[in-house]
Chain A
Amino acid sequence: MKKKIVFLIVALMGLAQVYAQKYMTRNGHIWFYSHAPLEDIEAHNNQVSSIIDLSTGNVAFSLLMKAFQFEKALMQEHFNEKYVHSDKFPKATFKGKIVNLDGIDATKEGEYPAKVKGELSIHGVTKEVEVEGKITFKDGKMLVNATFPVAVADYDIKIPAVVADNIAKVVDVHVEMSYDPM
């Protein structure tokens, strides 16, 4: 009897392991690019954490706004102090679901198109977004690539008129992540 129970538990835990096809990273790369008449600005964040659960299709991203590195120190200061108010809203997050989960097979190496729908929160404002990208399985890792536009005004980020020619109204956000199984 006891043996049976132990066996059952082990089997169930094993099931849980298989069931939880979670992938995770803490040093993902997200960068944005702003193209404006007077200057091009880009900033990189290499400390993005994210979990993707392939069993449910749930996706989560979280990053610290202050971890964005700009080419010029002053830009970084203005970004944090004047535009996204990083002291008040330290994080940007995304929570969503992979829509086309059926078409993604983690057991087969290769590239799969992926569509993700969810809520993007920046500067204390949450918006529904839909992003298309691709998921690649290679050498036991899962790679995620995507690019999507973000209109800064949608997130209540105000750009003063004097710098209107320096900062784009819509910035391109690039996502470049490499996950390990959890």
Chain B
Amino acid sequence: MDETPSFDAPEAFGAPESTDPFTPQARHLVVVSGGLGDPSSSRQLADRLAAAAADALSAEGIVPEVHVVELRLLATDIAEAMVNPSRSEALQAALDEVEQADGIIAVSPTFKASYSGLFKSFWDLVEDGVIRDVPVLLGATGGTPRHSLMIDTAMRPLFSYLRTKVLSSGIFAASDDWGEVEGGQASTRTTPLQTRIAAAGADLASVVARLAARPRRASGAPKPLEVTPFDQLLRGE
């Protein structure tokens, strides 16, 4: 018997009516790049990871919708949001995309043995619990491969705290890696960057494809409020 997947949103006050009605088979990938330059190698890595994941999703018959959040363009808004509860429209739109993502690709440059302060500040603005169980692929860039454990020592705990499904594969791109190709010098003995990117993209796609699409709301619409009936609150539930 054919099981038709249900894309209905959960019952909640002001809940969105359905997932994207035109393409219910779509999955929304949100790419958050913490690169500070333009051009930026973090953005470059993020784009390549997104392309790899999108290709793998397409191969499974799923329509990938990719949204890129470039934090350098939001730097002032993020700083202002730290000291004031108001959010600029651009920042709120970015946070809304992240909250509704079916999969997240998060990439930061390595600064002083960790992610950049801007990258951390952005995730500080994401409310606890809103991206619980969302698959996350981590990526980082740095000057030399000696920083490559940053993904595991700094980024992974952050995304564990956010209760996301952090994929075991994380992609670190040192400056040298951009010069490496399949069939390059055997003496380097590392897997070329593009090969690692393709594998990680496929890894993310395989998890995203197996999860139901998350409910989406009309763009700009605030998050629905969920109500616990008051007699339950009174009983301490």
Instruction: Determine if chain A interacts with chain B.
Output: no
B residues lining the A interface (CB < 8 Å): none
A residues lining the B interface (CB < 8 Å): none
